[in-house]
Chain A
Amino acid sequence: MGKKMTSFRGLCLIMLALVLVLSACSGQKNGGSSNTPNDGAAAGTDGKEQNSELKPYELNVAYLNIGTATDMPEVQAAVNAITKEKINATVKFMPIDLGAWQQQINLMLAGNEKLDLLVTGSGLNFGTQAAKGQLVPLEDLLEKYGQDIKKIVEPDVLKAASSSGSIFGVPSVRDWAADYGVLMRKDLVDKYNIDLSTVKTFDDLDAVFEIIKKNEPEMAAIIPEAASVAVVTSLVPGLIDPLNDDNGVLPGLDNDLKVVNWFETEQYASLLTMVRRWYDAGFIPKDISTNQTASEQLVKAGKAFAFMAHMKPGYENKTSLLTGTEMVAVRILPPVATTSSISNIMFSIAKNSSDPERAMMFLNLLYSDAELVNLIDYGIEGKHYEVKGEVIGFPSGVDANTATYNPNFGWMWGNQFLSHVWEGDDPKVWELQDAFNKAATKSKAMGFSFTVDPVKTEAAAIQNVKDQFKIGLENGTLDPVKYLPEFIEKLKAAGMDKVIAEKQKQLDEWAAANK
């Protein structure tokens, strides 16, 4: 009995301890939230005083760590010399590795750590961060301190960075669109005198593949763009706006904003028939659906002649380096820009920032100050790169393996078109890219992003069905005559119609709000 009493008392003590700990936690939370308005007020007064003088401030900028940046401290010092003079702020660069990105950024945002600017994007949880209120809405800040950004990133492009009606990010200036087609080995195209100018549609490719099949029986005529992607999959974005997932899409990127089931369309059926034809003719290897090797590697090893690709100007030159043989591009679908192709990589201001104004001023510099952009992208002139006529390259004695600053992340930092062009690229590549972006067809639903939560269960069930059928159908390994109706049937059973109705509802609301 006595023993029981002791253990009961012990339990009570523990409960008490727990209660104390819990209340301590919530106390801290209250403290945290009561601090925020104060910070906001302080920042507000800073803003008012802005004309007279800016207080020194340190901006913490989190970005994806790619490539080599051993000399980052030196570059940071040089960057600070510029920012100190222009906006009286210093910048603390916080590189975070790709593999650790999701974890660390989540923790930093949740833990209220010092963080002013962060890289984000459609693939980097931008939607969730914006919905959770971890990012600062940017309209007013852009109006006040971001005029140079507004000049370069046009309103209909900036819209892609919005979430529930507000803008939360600024897309970096880079390839905002892609065109779609096939990359082929040039040596073989020349060897068999293949006339690529006659190839206008994907159906015209049969003749080309037939020649390869006849003369190079060991070689696959066509393979997908990458491992675990199907042949058809990578050209689909050129035809439709997938509206986040491809459950309910806008064919032709317009369709008067009427959402349809892509898998039921004639267009989809005809694509599947085409790829089945290729598969039956032996153009596509039998084991393609389980392939894990990169397509460039397969071409390099002499196992494939061509692969599907989404491209941009100069793309074939770069791919040629990877495949080890010159590639020629057949561009079949014209360039297309969607919400996700623009909002891939952006900078956002974190809620943690105690001076969002200054963060926006720094962002503005990234879109207007060529010296700053080159410094961040390529390092210090003479030490990390050398100007060679119209282009730049490594100083003599330095190569990609020995470089001490070669981060390769120009596409992340503001306006890449302000930066130098690296040797090997067309010196005019930025102008070409700019024209390409401007020429791209923009989706009518640009800026819309689908919130999947109301139909989460259905979406998960649909995903299961897609995992079962999609890659087989889109590689031609499953016969569409037999399996496409079954696929559609199962999608319907999984709740596709409900998802489409929900998406249509959200899209209509979005359209009404954005009139």
Chain B
Amino acid sequence: MVNGKQKLFQIGLHVVFSAIVLMCLLPFVLLIMTSFTDETMILREGYSFFPSKFSLDAYAFLWNDKENIFRAYFTTIMVTLVGTFAGLSISSLLSYPMARKEMPMRKALAFFVFFTLLFNGGLVPTYFIYTQVFELKNTMMALIIPGLLTNGFFVLIMRTFFMNSIPVPIIESASIDGAGEFKIFFKIVLPLSLPILATIGLMQTIGYWNDWFNGLIYITDSKLFSLQNLLNRILLNAQFIQSNASSMNMSDISAGAKIPMETIRMAMAVIGVVPLLCAYPFFQKYFVKGLVIGAVKG
């Protein structure tokens, strides 16, 4: 009897969670299906999981712009890799000393970091400094640096992790065995901190990958557009041509009329998200592994 009840419970649990999984997955499936649907079918029949006519028009339209898209992929990947690596290095190098009790002024330093969470320079002064003092406008640095310097939140999470999950005796024993500070940090603390590094690395990767605001304000040179900026731009231009046809020349209107507006939106979303989606399982592996290894057991 108890067994039956448990089974029922199990089934119920599976149903509920399956429903939740479907709710997460279905919109995404619909997005992908729509990106392969024929444009006129969408206008006639609406969005459908099983479109009556498939078409690659949307991808063909984006393929026209392949040079720019590949360049933008390169930019985004470079920025993401460099940004995440540098961001993780800076955050851990800053938060580790803050976690060590021997560090003088550590409270003041922590407050300094915390302060940036509450207050920042505001858009115009920030822009002013980046463009006129550091002259970052239209450089790849403009896509990387603003992201590096606004991660006070990550620093504080990391500090808490270092303080609570790395036992001080381990550090002490290492130093008794003759390890210097660098050796302790790189050989002992970092390997023990994989979970937090993976978590923050993932957040930063997503942040850099999806970032378009820095591109929006600091980049005017189309050769430096990140993927998100470029996709945004392609879409806006296509919309502009269609809605202001009366100001365009004839050759362009006829080209613009062929743009499948409904489906390219979806195709762009697919292009923008798929690489990250492919990278996620690898992160997740580390993430779970890190959690299992988690701190010190026994």
Contact = CB atoms under 8 A, between A and B. Distances in A.
A393 B261 contact: no
Interface stretch (A246-254, A331-339, A398-406, A485-493): A398-406
Interface string B27-60: 0000000000000100110000000000000000
Nearest to A409: B247
A401 B220 CA distance: 22
Nearest to A316: B246
Q: Interface centre among B111, B236, B249, B255, by most A CB within 10 Å?
A: B249
Interface in A107-143: 107, 110-111, 113
Interface in A386-411: 393-394, 399-401, 406, 408, 410-411
B130 to A, nearest CB: 10
A423 B250 contact: yes
Given A10-B107, A294-B243, A408 B252 contact: yes
Interface in B224-265: 229, 232-233, 236-237, 240-243, 245-257, 261-262
A318 B246 contact: yes
A111 B246 contact: no
A425 B43 contact: no
Interface stretch (A48-56, A93-101, A209-217, A364-372): A93-101
B155 to A, nearest CB: 17
A399 B249 CA distance: 12
B243 A100 contact: no
B237 A103 contact: no
A424 B249 contact: yes
Contacts of A7: 107
A84 interface: no
Interface residues of B, number: 44
Contact of A393 (B236, B246, B251, B262): B251
Q: Interface centre among B241, B243, B252, by most A CB within 10 Å?
A: B252
A113 B132 contact: yes
B237 A66 contact: yes
Contacts of A293: 43, 262
B250 A324 contact: no
Q: A interface, by DSSP: helix, strand, loop or mixed? A: mixed
Contact of B216 (A103, A297, A324, A394): A103
A224 B246 CA distance: 17
B123 interface: yes
B257 A324 contact: yes
A477 B202 CA distance: 49
A226 B243 contact: yes
Given A318-B253, A400-B255, A408 B247 contact: yes
Nearest to B123: A107
Interface residues of A, number: 56
B115 interface: yes
Interface string B191-216: 00000000000000000000000001
A422 interface: yes
B217 interface: yes
B115 A111 contact: no
B217 to A, nearest CB: 5
Contact of A67 (B64, B216, B252): B252
B173 interface: no
Interface string B104-139: 000110011001000000011101100110000000
Contact of A408 (B112, B125, B249): B249
A301 interface: yes
Q: B interface, by DSSP: helix, strand, loop or mixed? A: helix
A94 B220 contact: yes
Interface in A317-336: 317-319, 321-324
A399 B64 CA distance: 12
B264 to A, nearest CB: 13
A442 interface: no
Contact of A107 (B127, B232, B249, B262): B127
A95 B219 CA distance: 11
Interface in A82-102: 94-100
B236 A98 contact: yes
Given A25-B125, A111-B131, A321-B245, A301 B43 contact: yes
A319 B256 CA distance: 11
Nearest to A412: B247
Contacts of A290: none
A181 to B, nearest CB: 14
Nearest to B125: A25
B246 A175 contact: yes
B220 A297 contact: no
Given A111-B132, A394-B251, A10 B108 contact: yes
Contact of A401 (B43, B128, B237, B255): B255
A99 B233 contact: yes
A99 B234 CA distance: 10
Given A10-B107, A99-B233, A301-B44, A294 B242 contact: yes
A186 interface: no
A303 B46 CA distance: 12
A357 interface: no
A322 B257 contact: yes
Among all A-B residue pairs, the 9 with the closest Cβ atoms:
A424-B250, A422-B249, A400-B255, A301-B43, A321-B253, A100-B216, A322-B257, A411-B247, A107-B127
Interface of B: 40, 43-44, 64, 107-108, 111-112, 115, 123-125, 127-128, 131-132, 216-217, 220, 222, 229, 232-233, 236-237, 240-243, 245-257, 261-262
Given A107-B124, A321-B245, 7 more contacts: A66-B241, A98-B237, A294-B243, A296-B242, A301-B43, A303-B43, A322-B242
21 contacts: A7-B107, A10-B111, A14-B111, A66-B237, A67-B237, A67-B252, A99-B216, A99-B236, A110-B124, A294-B243, A298-B43, A300-B43, A318-B253, A321-B250, A321-B253, A322-B242, A322-B253, A324-B257, A399-B251, A400-B256, A424-B250
